[in-house]
Structure 1
Amino acid sequence: MHFSKGHGTGNDFVIVADPADERRLSAAEVAALCDRRFGVGGDGLLRVAPSTEPEVKWFMDYRNADGSIAEMCGNGVRVFARYLLEQGLADGPEIAVSTRGGVKRVRVDGDQLSVDMGPAEFGPSSQASLSGFAWPGQAVSMGNPHLVCHLGEAEELEALDLHYQPRFDRAVFPDGVNVEFVVGSAPHVRMRVHERGVGETHSCGTGACAVAAVALRRAGSDTGTCKVDVPGGTLTVTVTDETIHLAGPAVIVAEGTARL
């Protein structure tokens, strides 16, 4: 199986082209390809498949590293668009991509790719707990579920052991949740994230959008631009009255053949 490998601020993906929609990978096959010791390695897999949406050519079939299906991935859709560009499967400056979270439009501006992620939907207050400590959080949907928890000090953020999944209220998040831990205030914050089905990742695009929306609201505004530092770099999130735009780099770093 031919594959490519790409990342957006360290959030990395195995990319498999399936233009004829002939290779619907099983959860076990996805997990094998994403395994960092026995496979190619990645936080998730992007299958390039034909779209059923009118006037949209490609569908991003996104899977988490454990093979589970995810509704949306902000870094993934930007890497997906970069792959389409480099393979001559799409032209800029705007690329429409069909996803389980709806059609996303990616705009190309040099090394930066910006995607219209749609608006954040705020849910109830909740909490996350880890290693005997608990933090209040805000539920946010970006087409997939997030729980944004603000911490007090930067040292507290660094000390978190995200090898373990934070505990959360399954009555609020029956399908699991991505948990973001944040320090700082808008217009510039830092975050770490534990993604459902993956573990800690170097970046999470939808998570950065959720974090920025919460940080701006905490600062007294529902709109504005917020820089979000993740372990893999920096993402720029612009929140308007209608939608959220996520901007950052997306690069293809390798290609090859994998054996399943």
Structure 2
Amino acid sequence: MRVLPAAGLRFAKMHGLGNDFVVIDGVRQALTLTPTQVQALADRHFGIGCDQVLLLEASARPQADFTYRIFNADGSEVEHCGNGARCAARFVREQGLSDRDTLCFDTLGGLIRPRLLPDGQVEVQMGVPTFTPPDIPFEAPAEALDYPLEVAGETLRVAALAIGNPHAVLQVADVDHAPVATLGPQIERHARFPRRVNAGFLQVLDRGEGRLRVYERGVGETLACGSGACAAFVAAVRWGVFDAAARLHLPGGTLELAWAGAGTPVYLTGPAVTVFEGTLSV
């Protein structure tokens, strides 16, 4: 089977707050990506280099403009990526795939709706968060605001929720000194998260502002994680330490978030930047 077009694979390198992507038009290019090929594209020494590879395809669902697929650097396909959704929306506009300001993407985590704003930012309606343990999925006898989680001989208190993909959030006193590199991978692969999990380390500054670092499933720590920011924000609202709108500062920059409460979608706003476009020859 031919995987890449004969003329080479056309792509754009993009980022949202330093969370970087290889974005591919699968509407006008016929291709199939294997995990090995994704790993090669994501390799920062021998490939293009990225946290995730994003693929836009025609959608079979009439309410969706495109199917939006996300592949982590390890080759695994995942449900959601907020920073990637903003970049995908910018890519659609810049590549002439649509001139609409508001789009609908079909993802493994459900339908999401990015909107290009006049100031160059992109707002994404990220969907309704899920807290029921089997739906996250997370092994727990009943839903709770947080749970004890045994990691490396200590008991952590984490919120567990899904916003398209699974997240664990723990509050820390100082995000600069949080043990992200050591606890992150252990939380990611904890046995109580059967599909692995993104681990967020949140420092609350006040009721409308916080700092966050995220160890992403299948990637490692990234400069920013959009769905991780949504999960941390929602957890903090449920804990009663954030109001219904807040800003989160990540290593790569700042995201704005809003949530009206249970049963309503989370809104994420931030930048999306094209770094360069190219063609990969094989």
Cα distance per residue 1:131-164 (max 9 Å; x no partner): x66531110100100000101234533x543596
Matched ranges for 1:120-199 at <5 A: 120-122=129-131, 123=133, 124=143, 125-127=147-149, 129=151, 135-157=156-178, 160-161=180-181, 165-167=185-187, 170-184=190-204, 185-199=206-220
Kindly state the Cα deviation for residue 186 of structure 1 after the two structures are TM-superposed.
3.1
1:235 to 247, 255, 263: 255
Kindly state the Cα deviation for residue 253 of structure 1 after the two structures are TM-superposed.
1.0
CA gap of 1:254–1:140, structure 2 versus 1, over 3 A, is: same
- Which TM-score applies when normalising by structure 2? 0.84
Contact 1:46–1:76 (8 Å) recurs in 2: yes
Partner of 2:4: none
- Structure 1 counterpart SS, 2:75: coil
2:221 to 174, 177, 200: 200
Contact 1:128–1:168 (8 Å) recurs in 2: no
**Mapped partners of 1:173, 1:21: distance in 2:** 36
**Mapped partners of 1:154, 1:186: distance in 2:** 17
Contact 1:126–1:139 (8 Å) recurs in 2: no
**Mapped partners of 1:32, 1:14: distance in 2:** 11
Structure 1 position 69 matched with structure 2 position 77: yes
**Mapped partners of 1:10, 1:162: distance in 2:** 22
Unaligned stretches of 5+ in structure 2? 1-8, 134-142
Structure 1 position 42 matched with structure 2 position 47: no
Cα distance per residue 1:102-121 (max 9 Å; x no partner): 22111111211001111222
Partner of 2:110: 102
- Structure 1 counterpart SS, 2:249: strand
Structure 1 position 250 matched with structure 2 position 272: yes
Contact 1:129–1:168 (8 Å) recurs in 2: no
Kindly state the Cα deviation for residue 12 of structure 1 after the two structures are TM-superposed.
0.6
- Structure 1 counterpart SS, 2:185: coil
Contact 2:160–2:166 (8 Å) recurs in 1: yes
> What is the aligned-residue RMSD (CA, Å)?
2.1
Contact 2:175–2:212 (8 Å) recurs in 1: no
Partner of 2:30: 22
Contact 2:180–2:215 (8 Å) recurs in 1: no
**Mapped partners of 2:74, 2:98: distance in 1:** 29
Kindly state the Cα deviation for residue 127 of structure 1 after the two structures are TM-superposed.
2.8
Cα distance per residue 1:189-221 (max 9 Å; x no partner): 111111111011011111000100111222267
Kindly, what percent of the aligned residue pairs are identical? 37
Partner of 1:226: 246
**Mapped partners of 2:92, 2:33: distance in 1:** 20
Structure 1 position 112 matched with structure 2 position 112: no
Kindly state the Cα deviation for residue 67 of structure 1 after the two structures are TM-superposed.
0.7
CA gap of 1:127–1:187, structure 2 versus 1, over 3 A, is: farther
Q: Point out the structure with the larger strand share.
A: 1
Paired residues in the alignment total 257
The amino acid across from 1:119 in the alignment is V
The amino acid across from 1:248 in the alignment is G
**Mapped partners of 2:188, 2:18: distance in 1:** 26
**Mapped partners of 1:21, 1:59: distance in 2:** 14
